[in-house]
Structure 1
């Protein structure tokens, strides 16, 4: 074998190895990123279902003529704010996710206030449409929790893939950045304070 051929073979092998590594990294990162996007779509679907149910719930509660308008207004405003936020799943930043979480938490708080206030309205509590919507909301909250959990589960392998060395080198070249995890909604660590005014009968 000619002496100049050996270095050439080594160079070809090294180049092919780097190429194979880069292709393998990129393809895996794309697949994992698609899983994240799919999981985020499921999160948005669950939140959209809650938003639709809240709209129906508000319309049902409006039927109670003497129901506190300020409580309804806060729910309507929080719902409008929540539905106005959109996030690109291919580029979810920690700041975007924190803002989304904060706004959805505001809607959750307004909804809790509405449901507590309903306790003072026996006719509304007995309304079958309201009861059905309340059950569907409880079911949807479970779906949201599941969707958020699965989103975090999809984030973990993606982040492990793009953040570990030496993959992190290629990640910076191909613009694959780590993604933020869903955290609990603000104030979730505190149990809600529920007060019933049994002396105020409507």
Structure 2
């Protein structure tokens, strides 16, 4: 009778240890997933800040530029695409389009020295540059959180818990191919 109590006690200890491991792994996955959501909120916060700065920048620049209607139309279309984006992939694509159009605008601004000297324009450009820097940091933090989570979801025993409870690999916020290239700007010369 004494041996069966010891065996039963040993089995109970093993079951408790396994239960603690499962709970710990599950809670770790939940924490990682919440961290991703928190980091994504910071990316969205900076994207929204940039999104909100653009109309002020456009209204400042429009008074100086009379022949660059296409850039303003492209900027409006890119802002609309960003506003309509519903997931990380769509927002990344919309962000890339917005970044490319802003780059085109800034290239054209080089042709307007009086605009570059305008105090409001300079202030808006400084705000936009600061926002771009914060956005880069937020994207990096988000991608690091996704990397940590994806590692947890793919490694054992996390992979077992992830498959049992529906934790799925998350996507990185990545730029589209070709965004590292300088945008082509056409000044209307054929």
> TM-score higher than 0.5 here?
yes
For residues 140 and 105 of structure 1, the distance between their equivalents in structure 2, rounded to whole angstroms, comes to: 15
Q: TM-score, normalised by structure 2?
A: 0.87
Q: TM-score, normalised by structure 1?
A: 0.82
Aligned to 2:155: 164
Matched length: 189
Aligned to 2:28: 28
Q: Does 1:153 align with 2:144?
A: yes
Q: Tell me which of 107, 110, 117 is aligned to 1:119.
A: 110
Structure showing the higher helix proportion among its residues = 2
Q: Tell me which of 98, 104, 108 is aligned to 2:95.
A: 104
Structure 1 residues 101-123: Cα deviation after superposition (integer angstroms, max 9, x where no partner): 11111111111112222223333
Pair 102,186 (structure 1): closer, same or farther in 2 beyond 3 Å:
farther
For residues 192 and 167 of structure 1, the distance between their equivalents in structure 2, rounded to whole angstroms, comes to: 43
Q: Does 1:174 align with 2:188?
A: no
For residues 69 and 144 of structure 1, the distance between their equivalents in structure 2, rounded to whole angstroms, comes to: 28
Gaps of 5+ in 1: 88-96, 198-202
Report the aligned-residue RMSD. Answer: 2.3
